Structure formats: structure tokens, C-alpha cells
């Protein structure tokens, strides 16, 4: 089974949009989110636009999800479903 980052390209795009939507709803700039999460401004920008070549790292997902109050299950469940469908 191929578990390359490209397998989750759609989920990475959805996560990026969710980060952007939650950040904007919270009234945070990218710089403010970067300061609060420890994720660089550039990485947040790339994530929000779906341009991270290998997708976000697990650490990045956890940091952003924590600050933006995104349940990790909202991020991981779609990936687990895709894995189940691809096997």
C-alpha cells in the first residue's frame, strides 16, 4: 500500500483551509498564529494554500490544532478513512 504524502493531498488541502478559516475567525494574523504555535509564518502560509510539498508534519498539525481548538480527530479521521479505502 502506498502511504506517500500524495495519498493525503486532498486532506492536506482541507486542513489548510480549516486552519485559515479558524485563524481568520479568531481574528489572528499569520504572524500572531506563528508566535502562539511555534510554527513559522511561511509554513502557515504554505499550509493554508496547500503548497507544502510533503504535507504538514504531525508536529505542525498538533501545534496548529491546539492553538486553533481543532480536534485532532477532525484531522485524522478523513486520513484513516482514505487509508481504509485504499487498502
Residues 12-23 have pLDDT tens digits of: 999 999 999 999
Give the count of domains, the chain.
1
3-state secondary structure of 37: helix
* CATH code, 20: 1.10.260.40
CA distance 31 to 14: 21
pLDDT digits 0-9 by tens, 1-43: 556 667 888 999 999 999 999 999 999 999 999 999 999 999 9
- Return d(Cα 43, Cα 52) in angstroms, integer: 8
pTM score of the predicted model:
0.89
Query: In angstroms, rounded to a whole number, what is the distance separating the alpha carbons of residues 21 and 47?
Result: 12
Which residue range is the domain that position 75 belongs to?
5-86
Amino acid at each position: 500500500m502506498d502511504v506517500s504524502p500524495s495519498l493525503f493531498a486532498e486532506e492536506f488541502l482541507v486542513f489548510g483551509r480549516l486552519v485559515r478559516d479558524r485563524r481568520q475567525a479568531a481574528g489572528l494574523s499569520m504572524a500572531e498564529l506563528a508566535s502562539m504555535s511555534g510554527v513559522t509564518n511561511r509554513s502557515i502560509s504554505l499550509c493554508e494554500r496547500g503548497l507544502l510539498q510533503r504535507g504538514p508534519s504531525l508536529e505542525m498539525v498538533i501545534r496548529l490544532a491546539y492553538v486553533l481548538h481543532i480536534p485532532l480527530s477532525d484531522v485524522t479521521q478523513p486520513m484513516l478513512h482514505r487509508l481504509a479505502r485504499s487498502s
